[in-house]
Structure 1
């Protein structure tokens, strides 16, 4: 058993993570960041839940770039093949659920 106070979590680098659980090949990680990630496509589906802060999520559909602002409590679902990049606005803590070993 573990209780995690997400607002207290920090890392020594942007996108540093605390591994919470791996269940049936699915990982759950808590990330802290204050810097953008990089454009990428995950190997599988991804659920991205903002626990603290604000994140601008950029994604491409049919070659067109879009952006949506995610506030605390908002969730972004990336289906297989969705190219995306997260840009936090200041510090953010994000819960990411994805296939184990996903990029």
Structure 2
């Protein structure tokens, strides 16, 4: 049993993570960041839930870059092959659920 106070979590570096669970090869991790990630495509599907802060999620659909503003409580689902990159506006806390070992 774990209780995690996500608003209290920080990391020493951008995209630092707290491993919460690994359920049959699917990981759930809490990330803290104040800097963009990198453009990437995950090995499988990804659920990206903003718990605190604001994140601009850039993604490419049909070769065209688009941006979705995500606020606390918003969820972004990246299907297989979805190229994307997260750009937080200041500090943000994000719950990420994805295949173990994914980018």
TM-score (norm 2): 0.99
1:8 counterpart = 2:23: no
Matched residue, 2:77: 77
Matched residue, 2:61: 61
* CA RMSD, 1 decimal: 0.3
Matched residue, 1:39: 39
Unaligned runs of 5+ in 1: none
TM-score (norm 1): 0.99
By how many angstroms is 1:2 displaced? 1.0
Aligned-partner Cα distance in 2 for 1:47–1:97: 5
Unaligned runs of 5+ in 2: none
Deviations 1:22-52 (A, max 9, x none): 0011000000000000000000000000000
By how many angstroms is 1:62 displaced? 1.2
Aligned-partner Cα distance in 2 for 1:2–1:80: 30
Runs of 4+ with >2 A deviation: none
Aligned-partner Cα distance in 1 for 2:101–2:32: 19
Aligned-partner Cα distance in 2 for 1:82–1:25: 20
